[in-house]
Amino acid sequence: MDILDKVDKVEWTETHTLLFTSLILGFFMWGTIGTIAPLLYPSVNNVFFILAPIIATLAGTLIFPHISDRRYGRKKTFMITMSMYGAGALIIGIISVLSIVTRTSLTSPLMLVPLTVGIVLGVLGVEGEVPVMLSYAAEMMPLRRREQILILAPNFDNVGAMIASAVVILSSSLGPSVELLTLSLTALIGLLFLALVRFRLPESVRWLYSKGKIEQAKAEILKLGEKTEDIQEKEKVRKVSLFSRYWFLVAIGISQYLTYGLMAYYIGDFYFPSLENYIVLIANVGASAAGFLAGFLINYVKSKMFSLFSFLGGTVTMIAILLTIDSITYDMTLFYGLLLLNMAFSEFGWAVRTIYEPLILPNSNRAFLIGLVRVFPITLNSISVYFLSFSNSPVVYVLYNTGLWALGAIASILWYYKGYDVNLTPIEVSSQSKVLS
């Protein structure tokens, strides 16, 4: 049996559980660290405090996937990114302790500047490893469970954000510095478990194979187990140019990434600062629950139909928020309910992205191209946050989000008719890549 074929058909073993655990903890760290700036923003009230991590997101998304593809592989890159957000979380913790001991406000330049540096370091690491984690999951998970893993593992970003917001709510009466300390401790404890797991990981067999390191690939595949199972693979897909595949991913990326961030994090910052922590919590409860549901549904729904359902559903629920936005000042319950539903569809859209991004992009530059896809939503997100921070109208804010959802809906409709499903399709086929002989 071919090496890559064995990766797809090997039965689930303890090593796969280790891989899955690594992915869960990595995405949990992303949710925890990535949420710190938006949760702390009402206490700082400086738009550049939330723009700096977004810029760091852009840098991390381009730098670490590139070195992972070209030089270091998946495992070594994880060690670098962990060091980055470990240092960031430690700096955040130190600043929070100093703020408590000296009774210095976090808005003081003596505290705010190093705090921002710590957050930027943390975000640089967690954001930089997202494309690498998606590539690693797509390259190493058995074909029968691959799509499920690509949905369930990234969902722990929502779980991390949900826990971070709950921690802040529980410690809010003690002040921003204590909130920050609890967040940094949560991140550091998560990092400790993650480090213990990742040191035991095998390198990606497919990455080694793509670099011509066949003997190393054979050694690593032994760690996955010996028993294999018969799977009826999909051997062909419709030919779609890399250009078209790339822009489909960009369109749904812009749609899902911006609407999630703007509705889960920044709408509270800009219009309901006293309710920010609750909005973040409710949004991520909806997203987390939907993520587990999506992991179940993907076994029964083809990926094209799942994409269509996700983005049309998100558009409809956002229109419902737009039509009722004027009344939420008097009844936040209605807004919370619609937000919960909209964030569920946002998670479905995120699941579509985490399936398609690593599976339809070429083997040789997979992580970097995933990062290159994310450049557009990340850049537009920073621009959107900056200009929307000056808007006094939640109607305009939600109307903008409605347009973003419509972009994703249009892209998913076009893909439904012009694209292809990836369920039970070997990654060499779905990515339309040539396998080394």
pLDDT in tens, 64-93: 999 999 989 999 999 999 999 999 999 999
| CB of 58 closer than 8 Å to CB of 383 | no
| CB of 77 closer than 8 Å to CB of 132 | yes
Give the tens place of pLDDT for each residue, 143-175: 889 999 999 999 999 888 888 888 888 887 788
Return the bridge partners of 10, or none: 228
For residue 49, give both structure tokens: 């405090």
Q: How far is C-alpha 19 from the chain's CA centre?
A: 17
Write down the pLDDT at residue 390. 85
Q: Domain ranges in the chain?
A: 3-430
- In eight-state DSSP terms, residue 227 is -
Write down the pLDDT at residue 15. 92
For residue 292, give both structure tokens: 């587990």
Judged on CB neighbours under 10 Å (0-12, 13-18, 19+), 105 is middle
Distances (CA, A) of 219 to 35, 222, 340, 436: 39, 6, 46, 18
Write down the pLDDT at residue 331. 72
Q: Which residues of the chain have pLDDT under 70?
A: 1, 328-330, 434-437
Write down the pLDDT at residue 22. 94
Write down the pLDDT at residue 5. 86
Write down the pLDDT at residue 108. 85
CATH class of segment(s) 3-430: mainly alpha
Write down the pLDDT at residue 366. 92
SS3 content of the chain, % helix, strand, coil (to 5): 80, 0, 20
For residue 53, give both structure tokens: 């991590």
Give the tens place of pLDDT for each residue, 41-50: 777 777 777 7
Write down the pLDDT at residue 435. 45
- In eight-state DSSP terms, residue 226 is S
- In eight-state DSSP terms, residue 10 is B
Report pTM. 0.86
| CB of 419 closer than 8 Å to CB of 238 | yes
